[in-house]
A and B are shown apart, each in its own frame.
Chain A
Amino acid sequence: MNNKQIIEWNISRSKEKIKSQILKDRIIIFFTRIVEDAGKYQNPNFYGRVKELYRLIYPYSELEDPKEIFIKIKKTFGLQGFSGCSEIRTLVRISDTRNSDLKSKDGLVLDNEEIEAVKLFIKNLDSECKLKNKMVIKKEIEAILGKLVVKYLPNSSKIIEPYLLGKLISSVGGISKLYRKPASTIQLIGAEKALFRHMAKGKDCPKYGLIYYSRRILKAENKGKEARKIANQLALNVRIDYFRNFNSQKTSEIPDF
């Protein structure tokens, strides 16, 4: 084979393999970080988050200016120039065809539900990429996040709230990293500073990390004991959810090349 043919074969092969590694937990992480940003800052702009979303769908595009990406992502979702009753029929046809373009070959493939959820987010952004009515939209996005988490993580979402579960996944960096962790580490995610202070200086060991804000622990009298219970249940159920819903690769389905 030529050098050119070897390079093309390797690029196409590695693109296929990378696509199998990009899972649906990325869209859960995306919405949790929006809710976090809206709670943390007074009036943030979402140029960075929009760029993140665009890179999920089109990972190999060479656009880097966030303002250009923001204009382009409006076009792809069929939201720009949506004014005037006469143009509605034509625009609806275009938006239907563009939804098929969103299912790109290389990046993450979105469902119809997820496309509508993303549309709601982008529709409510200004020309400066800020949320128009922050408090109302924040609640709507939280509801969307709840639906997504229950859809993909049905077992583990019964134990703690969906927003907290999204926070756990985003802080670790993906569900494929979370399911490998034991229960004792899941209990202390988010309390790393206190843990290393305990290890270095011999101060008291932390009992809970991000799990602390769940309703079960806030009600309980013995909070350390309840945190241990939740972490044990969570470690089992995350593994069940991962192997049922996320793990698309199976040993029999991998083709030989």
Chain B
Amino acid sequence: MERRISRNKFSKNRFGSNRRTIGRFKGGGRNSRSSENRFSKGRVNKAGNQRYGKQQTWKKPKRKFKKKKGIEFKSKWVVAINRNLDVMPGKKDNILYLGASTGTTIRYISNLTEGLIFAVENSPDMALNLVRLAGRKKNIAPVFCDARDIESLKKAMFNTKINILFQDIPSLDQAEILIKASSLVDKDSKIFFSLKTQSISQQEPGKTLKEVEEKLKKHFKILHVENLEPYHKKHYFLILGKM
């Protein structure tokens, strides 16, 4: 926008004073929120003033953090698939997914398999979106219960054989939940575990990884550990096999 300012300081306005009163007439007071007053910073409006060289115009302020686009910033399993790890599901694999939330990862993975996917979620607001998604897709079975409650999980599954177990729950007893849930799975099946170190403790992520690994060594054999940076900071992806 351009605006003309009378350069003659001594030209009087209609009130008879010598002050410049551009902002007052058009955009209300100096401190008002009107769109025209966004250009002015101080007492004098410098928007159209070409005395200072470049013309100042209002721009939309930049965001502090860039908006991250793409499924890789949301899903940990997809990052592992893109890095050519041995995590690709087969065409007829049944999957038990603990901590599904709204189902961003499940939407991606349901296209890769024809088998059943049991999506377990505990909070009602997240599970509403999950059930809505299950209406559209043909191979998703939403299970609304706590992941620690194994008996209700057993009833929901109707003795179907599970090939892949995936766990992604931000809680302090994340490792214990996996050990409990591994009773539902046979020896042949794969187990994937995405570790969130900050939900366990605020110390360095390397230390918490070692502590969790010692817990898991008693029940599983650890095949691979992957650091998920730069997509997910302080997150690890573990590939496990049952003893």
Contacts and interface: CB of A to CB of B under 8 A. Distances in A.
Contacts of A1: 158
A135 interface: no
Interface string A1-18: 101001100110111011
Contacts of A11: 131, 134-135, 141-142
A10 B142 contact: yes
B158 A6 contact: yes
Given A10-B118, A59-B128, 14 more contacts: A3-B139, A6-B158, A6-B160, A7-B116, A7-B138, A7-B140, A10-B142, A13-B144, A14-B143, A15-B131, A18-B124, A18-B131, A18-B144, A21-B124
A21 B121 CA distance: 13
Contacts of A22: 124
A65 interface: no
Contacts of A55: 128
Interface of B: 116, 118, 124, 127-128, 131-132, 134-135, 138-145, 155-158, 160
- Interface of chain B: mostly helix, strand, loop or mixed: mixed
Determine chain A's interface SS by DSSP, over half rule.
Answer: helix
B145 A17 contact: yes
Contact of B156 (A3, A13, A18): A13
A62 to B, nearest CB: 7
A82 interface: no
A212 B128 CA distance: 36
A61 to B, nearest CB: 9
A3 B131 contact: no
9 contacts: A7-B139, A14-B142, A17-B144, A18-B127, A18-B128, A18-B144, A21-B124, A60-B131, A257-B155
Contacts of B143: 10, 14
A6 B116 contact: yes
Contact of A14 (B116, B131, B139, B160): B131
A13 B134 CA distance: 13
A6 B124 contact: no
Interface in A84-115: none
A133 to B, nearest CB: 23
